[in-house]
Chains A and B, each alone.
Chain A
């Protein structure tokens, strides 16, 4: 037993350096002022109008991205569930390939595609559709979020759908339920754990991202992640950055607890 515990030590060191120490540091900076005195001011700073606005926009964009991801991923999961083994592997492969590429590169690719003289607008032009400004709008940010985080929604949903007992679904048909009824009364409720997992894994990174909004928002879209980033890198106010981070953490914990309430089986979710 003792020896086996030793094998976990590299992981423990990683956790210590990568998670526990930074968390303590954030806690320390977030609850102190520049002179090291204890204060709640950095937490309360979230109520400043600029910050509130950024938080609101973050919440909206993250929610919209999550919903779009769900609307794409769920039907896909249903299709995958019913397809043959070979097709299944192929479709999943297609979805996983982008994940092998660095996420900054992927976002950057969208940047070039969406810009004023980029691929997208050339294509629109070619088809005779008038010029659409997508770059540097919330739409571009949502597009980036959906593109980057979609696999995280697809995989847990596919997982729960493919593991679902086929005979339960057949039983519902057997009892006279139409396709729609089977979906709404049986398949959907039974896939809640996967949905919760997927929602968590898309919503949380979307809520806190600053890279996507930086690259596709062109500095015009200020999300809460951007504000925190700027406190650390531009203003050099670590205390305020850490304070706002703490608020975000509390926010995420609360929303996850809320989501977890729907997850009766406790299979999915981060908490």
Chain B
């Protein structure tokens, strides 16, 4: 059983009239890589800033190792942050930057020197002690920002979109670096991003947020394969979200065609939302599948072809390594496992279901 480290209890926070966090609850365990994922303005950064102590919630509590730290200022918390724009001290050398936290806590010179060396080694920038900040590339500055935070041996490292400013290749490299660091250090990472790929690649647990509420929380696989509502399905990866009627258990009618599925317990003839991932749609010659249609669009995007198929009055996004030219008649089939059925939101309010966790 994982040990609880941080607990956010009924946190609400508004900036002016704008309610950013609405009765938000979250538990973070020790040695966990947890990612807060959501579009901009969903409250993920505010959540991180509340944990870091840079914002005080309007109501609710932050519990850290069983102690209420809601009113504790950031310099008294055993938590360190890697900021979005690195926030390195431009007037200090790399060594001075990394040593800042240790100097403030009055560690001995020898200890500081050792630690700085160790931290630089950890981020693969050995021998950079005397260099100037502005002589570094974005990726290197990012590593220094990491080193500056972890050298203080925090219990929790907060990362606010730390890879946002890097180019794609470097970003992917840094993702693996981060996983390696996390495993070597054995501390908790709370990571904020709007990039779903980043979230899925690195996290033990993903928290999908929107409008200040948790939409879904779970392992990357759970989030991707079993989205709980249309928002999550739409936000994570590409997806076809269509109206369907749950005829009975294990049978759903989509665009007038009956599909087998594996979901039960929705009742009879209930309207539902159906999510089908584009890579789960299998195309074949007409008559061989369940629903016939016509390819109306086809783009090659590297790994596969991305096609749009008009079938049953809906434009289906289909990803396949096999190309069907525009205008050709095709037939579609989906494995029952890959059809994800979700309740229709009853009202706008319930579109964002607050999950108690």
Contacts and interface: CB of A to CB of B under 8 A. Distances in A.
B152 A165 contact: no
Interface string A164-181: 010110111111111001
Contacts of B79: 174
Contact of B104 (A165, A175, A190, A264): A175
Interface string B127-171: 000000000000000000000110010000000000000000000
B89 A165 contact: no
A189 interface: yes
Contact of A174 (B81, B84, B88): B81
Q: Which of A165, A173, A175, A181 has the most CB of B within 10 A?
A: A175
A175 B83 contact: no
A78 interface: no
B105 interface: yes
A189 B54 CA distance: 23
Interface string B42-81: 0000000000111000000000000000000111100111
A176 B152 contact: yes
A183 interface: no
Contacts, number: 63
B91 A174 contact: no
A172 B100 contact: yes
A64 B152 CA distance: 43
Interface in B323-351: none
Contact of B85 (A167, A181, A185, A264): A167
B101 interface: yes
Interface string B79-105: 111011101111100000000110011
Interface in B167-184: none
Contacts of B54: 170, 173-174
A171 B53 CA distance: 12
A173 to B, nearest CB: 5
Interface of A is mostly: helix
Given A167-B83, A167-B85, A177 B104 contact: yes
Contacts of B73: 173
Contact of A170 (B74, B88, B105): B74
B91 A189 contact: yes
Given A170-B74, A181-B104, A175 B87 contact: no
A58 B101 CA distance: 44
Contacts of B101: 175-176
Interface residues of B, number: 25
A190 B90 CA distance: 8
B76 to A, nearest CB: 8
B75 A165 contact: no
Contacts of A177: 75, 100, 104
B75 A173 contact: yes
A186 interface: yes
Given A176-B104, A176-B152, A177-B100, A171 B75 contact: no
Interface in A120-173: 165, 167-168, 170-173
B45 to A, nearest CB: 12
Contacts of A165: 85, 87
Nearest to B148: A175
Contacts of B105: 176
A190 B92 CA distance: 10
B346 to A, nearest CB: 41
Nearest to A189: B91
Contacts of B100: 172, 175, 177, 185
Contacts of B80: 174-175
A175 B99 CA distance: 10
A175 B152 contact: yes
Contacts of B148: 171, 175
B190 to A, nearest CB: 13
Given A171-B81, A181-B104, A176 B87 contact: no
Nearest to B80: A174
Contacts of B90: 168, 190
A129 to B, nearest CB: 43
Contacts of B85: 165, 167
Contacts of A175: 75, 80, 100-101, 104, 148-149, 152
28 contacts: A165-B85, A167-B84, A167-B87, A168-B89, A170-B74, A170-B81, A170-B83, A171-B87, A171-B89, A171-B148, A172-B89, A173-B54, A173-B74, A174-B74, A174-B75, A174-B80, A175-B75, A175-B80, A175-B100, A175-B101, A175-B104, A175-B152, A176-B76, A176-B105, A177-B100, A178-B104, A190-B90, A190-B91
Interface of B: 52-54, 73-76, 79-81, 83-85, 87-91, 100-101, 104-105, 148-149, 152
Given A170-B74, A170-B81, A173-B53, 5 more contacts: A167-B87, A168-B88, A170-B87, A171-B87, A177-B104
Closest CB pairs A-B (n = 5): A175-B101, A167-B87, A171-B87, A173-B74, A167-B83
